[in-house]
Structure 1
Amino acid sequence: MTPRRVFVIGATGTIGQATVRALLRQGHEVVCFVRPRAGVGGRLSSADTERLLQGATVRVGDVGDPASLANDGFRGERFDVLLSCLASRTGTPKDAWAIDHRAHLLALEAAQAAGVTHVVLLSAICVQKPLLAFQQAKLAFEKALMASGMNYSIVRATAFFKSLSGQIERVRAGKPFLVFGDGTLTACKPISDDDLGDYLAACVDDPERRNRVLPIGGPGEAVTPRAQGERLFALLGQPPRFKQVPVALLDTVIAVLALLGRVVPPLADKAELARIGRYYATESMLVWDAEAGRYDAQATPSTGQDTLFDYYGRVVRGEAPAERGDHAVF
């Protein structure tokens, strides 16, 4: 394995942190470009970020500013790889096109000037059916990256543990587990931060992952929301209780917010958030077989060893925090 100079954006999220740790374990030299106030709600100072990313070089600036990328980030130095775990926080159109698309285009341009020859991009498996603004923005950058002439590894990950942990406390408090429909409308292969970080870091040196789109999930069989709830109740020693939410309710909320959003612009963003919720309530995070017109769990690759139910067990026993960040829904 040849040590590389890797420039990382999106390093302060939980997946970004895990990826930086994996890169350092592999012996790479890592430079992380972060905001002055990073993390959820800007709660992390520069000193906090340096502690989180210990072992990496931390540089502070604005990923949306080409001058800052060049002067504060790359600083005229040479790098081998650009690795991005950067993603918009809300998924609303303005945020998505600013971060998932434009900021990535700026980073790509700056990386080319710095001699980078390989880009590792964390994308999302849901861009297979791009019905939402953030999916369209991600897909537009994927296409730009493929057309850039640079080597690329586009990693389309399935669901994250933190996005499936929002109901632990409500169930612990004796409330029912909420499901859309009967709880079997969708399925996914959840992947942990550390397993995904290892996978992303390994893309740096693995020629088999170069110039490919790489869907990836965690270990084990695909799980439905109902299966998640049943296991959570079992871990808590409670009989399973579910509350079924009709998808039509989301459709009504979307229609009302979209109508009101024509008059009150902030409500248009809320309508988009409702559309995002509906998407995840009705679409599986698995490989889409366009010819068969269905999601295919068997065609969705797996990696790692940590399962969602292992994680639930650690949270229930107090051995791990239910870190949800921007993935808080319930």
Structure 2
Amino acid sequence: MLGATGTIGRATVRALVARGHEVVCFVRPRQDAVRVQGATVRTGDVTDPVSLAREGFRGEHFDAVVSCMASRTGVPRDAWAVDHQAHVNVLKAGRNAGVTHFVMLSAICVQKPLLAFQQAKLAFEAHLMEQGLTYSIVRPTAFFKSLSGQVERVRQGRPYLVFGDGRLTACKPISDADLGDYLAGCLDDESRCNRVLPIGGPGPAITPLEQGEHLFALLGRKPHIRHVPVALLDVVIRGLDLAGRVVPSLADKAELARIGRYYATESMLVLDPATGRYDADATPSTGSERLFDYYARLIRGEATAERGDHAVF
């Protein structure tokens, strides 16, 4: 199991153990341990083939690899090192250890690859499908944690921010637990083998405007929505691109701004290649937990949002 220290990774480890699998988690040193009863934790460097073999697989036999691993920032250097090359290293080491099934957590946004991390993920997807072993490539829509960054600001009386009219995008958010269970189920469900699997959470697709309106309703307040022009992001990106020619670190910030713009303007739904439009009806759903139930638990203090690196707000 790779990426076991993230919120989705931890949920996947719990689901794997609950299904009776013997789970070994390979994580970076000095990270918080994966505290799931029944799982073994080993530390090393996933980008180093020698460390993978020596500290990870240890010459033992493994049936499958499940990866929730992803680059932390999405900038080109990190994306190609982790989303692509580290996975190539794991696949090679895994095959030497007897692995016959590789379950990969990808992202639905790779359907329209405009960013480095999307291109890196696609490159590994293609490599994986060429290797002749069983694969399950899971492309989820938006995560609860990525859509929860404004809960606290709204509780503090500040406006909810949306880009454009708030209807530019839509998604079918999925919880960590539901996604973890779906990933674990790929090892047992033959219908998920040798397939690319887009997946969303239960219920209809929702827009950012609907997310904001429902959040205010949960708080018993009149909606206070502030509309941010997408052009503002374009100005920021152009400025950082120019500055990045002088200060290299600002080039990374420009890429992060492009990632933010992408999520602000592209729906996380299945893309119809014939029409170029996103199709909510064609986006499969799974699980039982809904975003607005999660918002309610956040407001009551029954849950804590661990936001992803690519959250727009």
Tell me the TM-score normalised to structure 2 length: 0.99
Mapped contact 2:259–2:310 kept (Cα < 8 A):
no
Matches within 5 A, 1:275-290: 275-290=258-273
Mapped contact 1:81–1:119 kept (Cα < 8 A):
yes
Matched, 1:21 2:14: yes
Matches within 5 A, 1:41-190: 44=32, 49-50=33-34, 52-190=35-173
Matched, 1:33 2:58: no
Mapped contact 2:66–2:102 kept (Cα < 8 A):
yes
How far residue 328 of structure 1 moved from its aligned partner, in angstroms, is 4.9
- Which blocks of at least 5 consecutive residues in structure 1 are unaligned? 1-7, 39-43
**Which residue of the other structure, out of 9, 12, 19, is the alignment partner of 2:2?**
9
Mapped contact 2:22–2:39 kept (Cα < 8 A):
yes
Percent identity among equivalent residues? 74
Secondary structure of the equivalent of 1:32?
Answer: strand
Q: Quick one: distance in 1 between partners of 2:255 and 2:312?
A: 14
Q: How many residues align?
A: 313
Q: Quick one: distance in 2 between partners of 1:217 and 1:290?
A: 19
- Residue 5 of structure 1 aligns with which residue? none
CA deviation digits over 1:279-327, x for unaligned, max 9? 0010000000010220000000000000000100100111111221535
Q: Quick one: distance in 2 between partners of 1:98 and 1:249?
A: 31
Secondary structure of the equivalent of 2:5?
Answer: coil
Q: Quick one: distance in 2 between partners of 1:328 and 1:225?
A: 13
CA RMSD of aligned residues (A): 0.9
Query: One-letter code of the match for 1:147?
Result: E
Q: Quick one: distance in 1 between partners of 2:136 and 2:309?
A: 25
Query: One-letter code of the match for 1:33?
Result: F
CA deviation digits over 1:33-84, x for unaligned, max 9? 011122xxxxx2xxxx14x233201111010000000000000000100100
**Which residue of the other structure, out of 233, 238, 241, is the alignment partner of 2:216?**
233
- Which blocks of at least 5 consecutive residues in structure 2 are unaligned? none
CA deviation digits over 1:145-174, x for unaligned, max 9? 001111100000100000000000110011
Matches within 5 A, 1:287-302: 287-302=270-285
Q: Quick one: distance in 2 between partners of 1:329 and 1:118?
A: 34
How far residue 96 of structure 1 moved from its aligned partner, in angstroms, is 0.4
Mapped contact 1:162–1:327 kept (Cα < 8 A):
no
CA deviation digits over 1:179-225, x for unaligned, max 9? 00010000000000000000000000111000000000000000000
Query: One-letter code of the match for 1:211?
Result: N
Q: Quick one: distance in 2 between partners of 1:325 and 1:199?
A: 20
Tell me the TM-score normalised to structure 1 length: 0.94
